[in-house]
Amino acid sequence: MTSLSVTAAPCSCACSCEPSEAELFARLDEVINDYHEKPGGLIPALQTAQSIFGYLPETVIRRIADGFGKTVSEVAGVVTFYSFFTLHPRGKNLVRVCLGTACYVRGGKEVLDAFRKKLEIDVGETTPDRQFSLEVGRCFGACGMAPVVMVNETVYQRVKPARVGEMVNQIMAGAAVAGEKEHA
Amino acid sequence: MINVTINSQKIQVPEGSSILQAARQIGVTIPTLCNLEKREAIGACRVCLVEVEGARTLQAACSTPVHEGIIVRTNSTLARAARRQVLEMLLSEHDGNCPTCDRSLDCELRALADEMGVSRVPFEGLRAKRHIDDSTPALVRDNSKCIKCRRCVTVCGEVQGVGALFPQGRGFQTVIGPAFMRDLDGVACVQCGQCAAICPVGAIVEKSCIPEVWKAIENPKLHVIVQTAPAIRAALGEAFGYEPGTRVTGKMAAALRRLGFDGVFDTNFTADLTILEEGTELLTRLKTALVDKQPVALPLFTSCSPGWINFAEFYFPQFLPNISTCKSPQQMFGAVAKSYYAQKIGRKPEEIVVVSVMPCTAKKFEAQRPEMNVNGVRDVDFVLTTRELARMIREAGIDFNALPDEQMDAPLGLSSGAADIFANTGGVMEAALRTAYEIVTGRELPVANLHVTAIAGLGGVKEAALTITGTKPEWSFLEGVELKVAVSHGLGNTRRLLEHIKAHGSPYHFIEVMTCPGGCIGGGGQPRFTDDSVRLKRIAAIYSEDESKKMRKSHENPDVQTLYKEFLVKPLGEKSHHLLHTHYKHKAK
Ligand code: SF4
Ligand code: SF4
Ligand code: FES
Ligand code: FES
């Protein structure tokens, strides 16, 4: 059985401390303890676990399954049912390209391909430097401005495939991206 | 009671009944796929849609409860068309290559398409990318045939308490299978095959070894013999149109002979042998506890059912010392055939091929366990399920129904009625009690017709107590002892029993565990479809097989007595230890 190594999600305080793996698992055990007897406790436990680890690696899913007296297959089934859970570490920036009908017909697919090429990853993957993860969405409710891309909480409208490279570079540099942009 | 009208017929049904249950009461058939008896309806497949007057949409009959005055039409044009459409949709996503499918003869999807008059699949649906999981010796999964009815999920999780299969992902992408899209060997699946028995289509089937068996039979240098488990004779007939519960022992022997086996033998023979070994093991452990006052693992658990062994090795390692060290009758047969029988016919063990016909898929796994050999020679070479045997008989063009009744061969073909009942939940225990009681007291087990009724039937966990009196001098330490036994079948029931014992200790001395509901007669390799009414009929057939014999106790089997006299010497002796016993190990989940 492959055991995935766990890397902590970047801590939100300004310090540079990173909790050790043992500390993370100790926190996980507390979470399991809090929730395992509550009806419907699995989902909040998974959510909390994901916020501790940044994602849900197999070791964490197994620990939760044992703690809840459920099988790994069942818990993995729940994890993969909800799109907000992820089995893989997510990057610092989550890029979601809309492939809803409006965006699709107005070139969403080409925009997606541009991101795949620029980031050298496929949908559902994360760049090796953990800077970007790529996902697709189904209609963000901004069809009038299609094609639409969301990066974290920011919505980019009328994205052109040719501009994608520049967008990525600017996000890396932490700068605001010129063009039509709006905070969600 | 609630007043219900179905297709203009007025009936009264108990409150809380579903439309489906109400319809069944008056013999109205509504097609179903995901629905399973005794399990909560999940309403997933929608092939049971019916029209309910006043309702805006069609309702799933399995999961819609009746209400007072409800008017239901199951066969209106609207209902029939809707059901047909649902089926067409399932078919459009199903990789249906019926002629080459393992299930072509008894596929429920195919049968429904026929019943509903589906003549074309009007649209090409998205098909899942085919992935064949043949990671285990027992089963093959093909997700492109899966219609996501989730029956296997219910059976594996709720009935067997294993939970290896679950819907992974969502929407069209959903795959029914183990965690992280792994293959079955990546999770703690016990290979019982209950999922394969319940799947309506060919998405989970046994891993066939028919070609290997043909090849062995056709090799003139090999002496190929076959053994059949007790449960086969009560079910094989179903594959040839006989009613469930028809005994076909004689025809089965005739068919095996015509397939070209050089010896047609019976696992029953080694079931009798098992009783002598395991019974002696029980009495020895009791003596260690009661006379020598030494610590010894009690209660003793039976060891015939390989799915149960897997289950204990994965989930209850603390009970491994309690499991009888006896190999299962299948493996004992192989070991005896390649030693005692080989000597008798003057062949080398390597020239003998042992084929088993088993009601079970886990037996395929058991046969290839590394421990199951003697001096490097496998005990059992190939394991066929009941379904595979039926296929071979058809393939060979044998007219099963026209076959005469024939006998099994000597010397490994004779058995007592006690061996027959190994096929049923409660049967191994009853067989053991018939012999152990008589060894200890010199008298016959004092129950009517030799049946311990408290542990028979489909109750989940059953128990019985028997006070031993009038012991022979050498067994006087058992005088007045109340022997307590328990029987469980289905691993979900077994899990509950073991958890209870873990928490509260065990009042029992001896516990029988069978992996499958109903015991081997309900095994994962038996003809489909098995529900409780079929289980009960097969059980009745097995009891009448037992009662039809003069010899109904294992220790009376003269050929087993000869085996001890000429070869093994005594139960638990050195030869037995070498050939007939094994050990278990904790497996990581
Ligand atoms: S073989 Fe038994 S344990 Fe394994 S997946 Fe099927 S039902 Fe579950
Ligand atoms: S494998 Fe068979 S039983 Fe399981 S969900 Fe698919 S079709 Fe249903
Ligand atoms: S389709 Fe993309 S925002 Fe609606
Ligand atoms: S049988 Fe009713 S929804 Fe499947």
Q: Taking the domains of chain A in order of start, what are their residue ranges?
A: 1-89, 93-183
SS3 B352: strand
Is pTM, for the whole model, over 0.90? no
**CA separation for the pair B196, B103 (Å, rounded):** 11
HEC states along B167-207? EECCHHHCEEECHHHCCHHHCCCCCCCHHHHHCCCCCEEEC
Domain with CATH 3.40.950.10 in chain B: 278-325+416-580
Ligand closest in space to the Cα of A159: 3
Q: Which chain A residues have any C-beta within 8 angstroms of a chain B C-beta?
A: 1, 58, 61, 70-77, 80-83, 87
Q: In A36-124, where does DSSP find H-type helix?
A: 42-53, 58-68, 72-81, 101-105, 108-119
CATH fold of B278-325+416-580 reads: Fe-only Hydrogenase (Larger Subunit); Chain L, domain 3 (3.40.950)
> Which of A70, A73, A82 minimises the CB distance to B164?
A73
Q: Where are the beta strands (DSSP E) in B359-420?
A: 373-374, 377-378, 382-385
Q: Compute, in angstroms, the gap from residue A80 CA to the centroid of ligand 4.
A: 24
- A55 CB neighbours in chain B (<8 A) are none
Cβ distance A71 to B169 less than 8 Å, yes or no, reads: no
How much is the CA Rg of chain A, to the nearest whole Å?
A: 18
Return the amino acid letter for B181: M
Tell me which residue in A1, A70, A80 faces B168 most closely, judged by beta carbons.
Answer: A80
A70, A73, A82 ranked by CB distance to B187: nearest:
A73
Contact A76 B164 (CB under 8 A): no
Catalytic residues of B: 278, 281, 304, 324, 363, 366, 371, 520
Helix residue ranges per DSSP H, chain A: 21-35, 42-53, 58-68, 72-81, 101-105, 108-119, 164-173
Buried b / exposed e along B57-95 (16+ C-beta atoms within 10 A):
ebbbbbbbebeeebebbbeeeebbebbbbbbbbbbebbb
Residue B108: the pLDDT is 96
Q: Give the residue among A181, A178, A129 at the shortest CA–CA distance from A153.
A: A181
- Give me the residues of chain A with pLDDT under 70, please: 1-18, 175-184
Cβ distance B253 to B408 under 8 Å? Answer: yes
Across the beta sheet with B382-385, the strand order is B263-266, B223-228, B352-358, B382-385
Contact in structure between B65 and B73 (CB atoms under 8 Å): no
Q: What ligand 1 atom has the least distance to the C-alpha of B194?
A: 7
Name the CATH architecture for the domain at B211-269+330-402: 3-Layer(aba) Sandwich (3.40)
- What stretch(es) of chain B map to CATH 3.10.20.740? 2-89
Which of B372, B407, B360 is CA-nearest to residue B266?
A: B407
Burial zone of B11 (CB within 10 Å; 0-12 exposed, 13-18 middle, 19+ buried):
middle
Domain A1-89 architecture: Orthogonal Bundle (1.10)
Alpha carbon distance B105, B496 (integer Å): 37
- C-alpha B541/C-alpha B233 separation (Å) is 9
The rounded distance, in Å, linking the Cα atoms of B142 and B360 is: 20
CATH H-level superfamily of A93-183: Glutaredoxin (3.40.30.10)
Residue B183: both structure tokens together: 């293959």
Q: How far apart are CA B527 and CA B106, in angstroms?
A: 9
Residues A7 and A89 sit within 8 Å (Cβ to Cβ): yes
Cα A136 to ligand 3 centroid, rounded to whole Å:
11
What ipTM was estimated for this complex? 0.73
Cβ–Cβ < 8 Å for B252, B409: no
- Of A125, A58, A139, nearest in space to A94 by CA: A125
Interface test with A, best of B152, B155, B158, B168 (most A CBs within 10 A): B168
Query: What 8-state DSSP symbol labels residue B166?
Result: E
Terminal Cα-to-Cα distance of chain B (whole angstroms): 48
- B179:A70 CB<8 A: no
Tell me, which fold does domain B128-207 have in CATH? Alpha-Beta Plaits (3.30.70)
Nearest Cα residue to B207 out of B153, B138, B283, B270: B138
Interface A:B, Cβ pairs < 8 A? 47
Nearest to B152 by CA among B172, B182, B177: B177
Q: Which atom of ligand 2 is nearest to the CA of B33?
A: 8
pLDDT of residue A81: 85
Pocket of ligand 4 (CB under 6 A): B 32-35, 43-48, 60, 62
| The predicted structure's pLDDT at residue A17 | 60
Residues in the ligand 2 pocket, defined by CB under 6 Å = B 146-152, 176, 198-201, 203-204
- Burial class from Cβ neighbours inside 10 Å (0-12, 13-18, 19+) for residue B496 reads middle
pLDDT at B378: 97
Q: Do A81 and B170 touch (CB under 8 A)?
A: yes
CA dist B297 and B281 (Å) reads 11
Our mutation pick for probing the ligand 4 site, out of B19, B37, B48, counting the most ligand atoms within 8 A of Cβ, is B48
Ligand 1 near B143 CB (within 6 A): no
Task: Indicate which of A56, A63, A71, A85 best probes the interface with B, i.e. most B CBs within 10 Å of its own CB.
Answer: A71
Dig out the tokens for B470 from the structure: 């009038």
B18, B30, B34, B112, best to mutate for ligand 4 pocket (most atoms within 8 Å of CB): B34
pLDDT along chain B (589 residues), means of 10: 95 95 96 93 92 93 96 95 92 86 92 89 76 96 94 96 92 87 95 98 97 98 98 98 97 98 98 98 96 95 98 97 98 98 97 98 97 94 98 97 97 97 98 97 95 96 96 95 97 98 96 98 97 98 97 98 97 96 94
The residue written with tokens 């994890």 in the block is: A79
Structure tokens at A10: 């970047």
Query: From the CA of A150, how many Å to the nearest CA of chain B?
Result: 23
Q: What pLDDT sits at residue A5? A: 41
Please name the helix (run of DSSP H) or strand (run of DSSP E) that holds residue B375, with its range, or none: none
Start-end of CATH 3.30.70.20 domains in chain B: 128-207
**What ligand 2 atom has the least distance to the C-alpha of B204?**
1
> Helix or strand or coil: residue B150?
coil
Relative to the alpha carbon of A71, which ligand is closest? 1
**Which tokens is B495 given?**
């899990």
Ligand 3 interacting residues, C-beta cut-off 6 A? A 98, 100-103, 139-143, 146, 148
| pLDDT the model gives residue A178 | 44
Best of B141, B180, B190, B587 to mutate (most A CBs within 10 Å, chain A) = B180
Contact across the interface for B166 and A71, Cβ inside 8 Å: yes
CB B89 within 8 A of CB B136: no
Q: How far apart (Å, rounded) are the C-alpha atoms in residues B534 and A130?
A: 58
Tell me which residue of B547, B569, B311 sits closest to B430, measured CA to CA. B547
The whole-angstrom distance between B168's CA and the closest CA on chain A is 4
Residues of A in contact with B175 (CB under 8 A): none
Q: Which ligand is nearest to the CA of A73?
A: 1
Tell me which chain B residues have a C-beta less than 8 angstroms from the C-beta of A88: none
Query: Fold match between A1-89 and A93-183?
Result: no
Where does B2-89 sit in CATH, by number?
A: 3.10.20.740
Atom of ligand 2 nearest to the CA of B150: 5
Please list every residue in chain B whose beta carbon sits closer than 8 Å to the beta carbon of residue A72: 178-179, 187, 589
Spell out the residues 6+ positions from residue B250 whose beta carbon is closer than 8 angstroms to its own: B403, B404, B405, B406, B407
Place of tokens 């260690």: B288
Q: Which atom of ligand 3 is nearest to the CA of A142?
A: 3
Closest Cα partner for B329 from B520, B490, B486, B189? B520
Residues of B in contact with A81 (CB under 8 A): 167, 169-170
CA distance linking residue B434 with residue B547, whole number of Å: 14
Angstrom CA distances, B297 to B153, B267, B431, B442, B509, stand at 35, 28, 22, 27, 10
Rounded to whole angstroms, the Cα distance separating B269 from B149 reads 41
Distance between A70 CA and the closest CA of chain B, angstroms: 8
For β-strands B382-385 and B352-358, DSSP reports them as parallel
Instruction: Please name the residue that has the structure tokens 């996000």.
Output: A171
